[in-house]
Structure formats: C-alpha cells, structure tokens
C-alpha cells in the first residue's frame, strides 16, 4: 500500500522468483513507468483500459500461461544454446535495410540489442506490438540509453541510414521507394489481422521493395507474426535471423519462423548484434 508498481517491483522480485505482469493505463507517464518495469525484469503488462474490450479473457490466459513457462524455464537455468553457425562464417550481404519484429519481452530485448549493436550504415524499422503511447516512449528511451537515433514512423517519412524507426502503435508500416529515396507509408489495411502494426505486413512490403538487399530479424514474442512475411523476404533473396529459445521471454514468433523454415540462422540475443554486424558490414 502506498507504493507504485515501479516501487513495488523490486520488493516482489526480492521476495520471490515470480513472473510479474504489470497493469498500466495508456498515458505517457504510465508508459514510462511500465517500460522501466519491463527493463527491470517485469515479464509483461496489461493495458487497464482495454480489459474486457480489446484485451479478452483468452489473451489474459495466454499471458499467464506464457509467464508460467518463462519463469519455469528461468528456474531450470538450463541453456543448450549453440550458435547455428559460427558468426565469423556468416555471409556478407549487400544489405540496404533491416526490419525487426518483436512482441512480448521486446523492450528489454531491444535495449540489449541496441546497446550492443553499432550504429548501422542502413535504416532499421521496428515493429513492436504496443499501444501508440508506449511506442513513442520506447523509442525515446532507446535514444536516451543507447547510441542510436530513433523516431516513430510518419507518412512519407524518409528512412535514413543510422536511424531506428518504430512503427506507430496503431498503424502498419509499408516500405516505398522513388529513385534513390527510401521512405515509408502508413496504413490501417489490412484490418482483419491480429496485430497492428504487423511484422508480416512490414516484412512483406519491405521484401517487395528491397529484394535481396533486406535483412529481417525476429525476436521474442507470442504468436507467429513475422513468419509469413519472412517467407516473402526469403523468396525475394533476403535473409532472416531468429532469436534462439534460450534467450526469448516467449519463444513464439521465432519458433514459428524456424518451424516454417523462414529463418536462415538462429542466434541467442547475446550474439544477435554481432551476427547482424557481420552480415551488414562484413
């Protein structure tokens, strides 16, 4: 009593090895507190105002089931992780853009990735499944805490090398190109899709524009978003990296990509930055 969620979190973590799910309102202030909690080890969050509306009992069941699996795996402390190939043997590709899809566990994973990843000579576009207010706060925090410049995508926004551009929390991002100018469009379509923004939509659009000059990365998250779009990336000559089970908060999206034979290679999060760097810069 009398303590906020961010104040109570370390006390709960000290008291027991629990998977903690935060409840948050969709305000900028709450977004900052929730993101801090996720960075400090909270498993996930639930938007209070969406309970009983877009956030259904089945979604709560999925959260709790995934949280249980996460903490069970963590308690075992077992990791059979081995890189799918030595990073030094990865091929150097003529990559001109990177797209990333991530969901549950994403804020912490993205912080680790961008802290380890050098500023890339190509633009990076990220789909993180989060409400709009949270995405803006996440982009701001990554810019403050890493060496990467960030933005939230807008209609007709030019994608520039060295910048990490986040899809807004309520619209899909599409790649577009005119001459040498690479830019993005925003769309509400398709509407009959589970996630908005969608990694599948981003990956497919980027693959159609970039072809073999595209690198896709699928990180931790529930569901299978990114697996189908990743197939398009592969069919157009691009490459897909997936996060290994050993470092995922939820081994859903990467697992779907691997089982669908969408991913070229699989790496633990601790090796992902080095793998991306090797492929992009040689």
- According to DSSP, the residues that pair with 30 across neighbouring strands are none
CA 276-120-203 angle, to 5 degrees, is 60
Model confidence over 76-103: pLDDT tens digits?
776 677 887 899 999 999 999 999 999 9
pLDDT given for residue 18 in this prediction = 87
Mean pLDDT of the chain: 92
pLDDT digits (tens, 9 = 90+) for 223-234: 999 999 999 999
Q: How confident is the model at residue 11 (pLDDT cuts 50, 70, 90)?
A: very high
Q: 43 pLDDT band (50/70/90 cuts)?
A: very high
Assess whether pLDDT exceeds 90 at residue 17: no
CB 162 within 8 A of CB 121: yes
Check if 129 is active-site. yes
Instruction: Please give the Cα distance from 282 to 275 (Å, whole number).
Output: 10
pTM: 0.93
For residue 23, name the pLDDT band (cuts at 50, 70, 90): confident
Which distant-in-sequence residues (6+ apart) come within 8 Å of 280 by Cβ? 93, 95, 98, 120, 121, 122, 215
* Catalytic position from the list 66, 103, 198, 205: 103
State mean pLDDT over 26-52.
84
Grouping H, G, I as helix, E, B as strand and the rest as coil, residue 175 is: strand
**Which is the catalytic residue, given 44, 200, 225, 228?**
225
Q: Is the pLDDT of residue 250 over 90?
A: yes
Asked if the model's pLDDT at residue 243 lies above 70, the reply is yes
Write out pLDDT tens, residues 119-142: 999 999 999 999 888 999 999 999
Give me the mean pLDDT over the 16-32 stretch.
Answer: 83
Q: Is 235 a catalytic residue?
A: no
Closest CA to 41 of 70, 66, 77: 70
β pairing state of 124-128 and 97-102: parallel
pLDDT at residue 211 is higher than 90? yes
The residue from 111, 129, 148, 172 that is catalytic is 129
pLDDT of residue 100: 98
| pLDDT surpasses 90 at 4 | no
Instruction: Report the relative pairing of strands 163-166 and 214-218 from DSSP bridges.
Output: unpaired
């Amino acid at each position: 009593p009398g303590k906020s969620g961010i104040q109570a979190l370390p006390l709960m973590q000290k008291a027991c090895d629990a998977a903690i799910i935060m409840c948050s309102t969709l305000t900028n202030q709450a977004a900052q507190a929730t993101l801090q909690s996720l960075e400090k080890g909270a498993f996930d969050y639930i938007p209070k105002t969406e309970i009983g509306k877009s956030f259904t009992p089945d979604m709560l069941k999925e959260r709790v089931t995934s949280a249980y699996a996460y903490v069970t795996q963590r308690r075992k402390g077992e990791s059979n992780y081995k890189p799918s190939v030595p990073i030094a043997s990865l091929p150097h590709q003529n990559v001109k853009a990177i797209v990333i899809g991530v969901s549950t566990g994403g804020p912490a994973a993205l912080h680790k990735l961008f802290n380890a990843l050098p500023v890339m000579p190509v633009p990076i576009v990220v789909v993180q499944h989060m409400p709009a207010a949270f995405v803006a706060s996440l982009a701001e925090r990554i810019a403050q805490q890493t060496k990467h410049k960030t933005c939230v995508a807008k209609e007709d926004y030019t994608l520039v090398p060295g910048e990490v551009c986040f899809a807004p929390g309520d619209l899909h991002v599409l790649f577009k190109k005119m001459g040498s100018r690479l830019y993005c469009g925003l769309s509400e379509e398709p509407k009959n899709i589970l996630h908005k923004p969608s990694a599948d939509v981003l990956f497919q659009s980027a693959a159609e524009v970039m072809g073999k000059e595209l690198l896709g990365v699928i990180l931790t998250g529930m569901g299978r978003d990114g697996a189908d779009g990743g197939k398009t990336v592969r069919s157009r000559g691009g490459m897909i990296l997936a996060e290994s089970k050993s470092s995922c908060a939820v081994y859903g999206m990467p697992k779907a990509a691997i089982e669908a034979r969408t991913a070229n290679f699989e790496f633990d999060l601790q090796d992902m930055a080095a793998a991306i760097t090797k492929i992009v810069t040689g």
